[in-house]
Amino acid sequence: MSVKEQGDKLRKRAQRRLHVRKTLSGTPEKPRMTVYKSNKYLYVQVVDDVAGATLASASSLEESLKGFKRNLDGASKLGEEIGKRLKEKNVAAVVFDRNGYKYHGIVKAIADGARKAGIAF
């Protein structure tokens, strides 16, 4: 992939991200769950946009979650972990922010894992 193509890919993701975020916002009743994928790790954050506060987060970088790899199985387990943390904070429903990524593969596995833990979207 050339440098121009790489920049184009990042620019298009940024456009998709902004397009989705125009209409998506987290409230105290239904916070926003956002996903970020790096080349090595996965990150999930649940944010209340009204208060500007992070309610819960989980990543494959944490010591307790070190065994989770950046694949479908690890993403599903990470989704279940964030769902468990949200249940402890009495959050039953969230708005899912895919952060400009396509809704398949790892992003879908995280959402399915959270659903399995009892979080509604």
Q: Which helix (H) or strand (E) holds 55?
A: strand 53-59
- In this predicted structure, what is the pLDDT of residue 90? 94
Taking a C-beta distance cutoff of 8 angstroms, is the pair 42, 106 a contact? yes
Domains of the chain and any CATH numbers: 3-116 (3.30.420.100)
Quote the pTM value.
0.88
The residue that leads in pLDDT, 17 or 114, is 114
In the chain, % helix, strand, coil (3-state, to 5) comes to 40, 20, 40
Does the structure show a pLDDT above 90 at 6? no
Helix crossing, 106-116 with 72-88: angle to 10°?
Answer: 40
Q: What is the mean pLDDT of residues 67-92?
A: 93
Q: Is 20 helix (H, G, I), strand (E, B) or coil?
A: helix
Q: How confident is the model at residue 66 (pLDDT cuts 50, 70, 90)?
A: confident
Q: How confident is the model at residue 59 (pLDDT cuts 50, 70, 90)?
A: very high
Share of the chain above pLDDT 70, in %: 99
The residue that leads in pLDDT, 114 or 26, is 114
Instruction: Return the beta strands (E) in the chain as ranges.
Output: 32-37, 42-48, 53-59, 95-97
Does the structure show a pLDDT above 80 at 60? yes
Q: Is 106 helix (H, G, I), strand (E, B) or coil?
A: helix
- In this predicted structure, what is the pLDDT of residue 84? 96
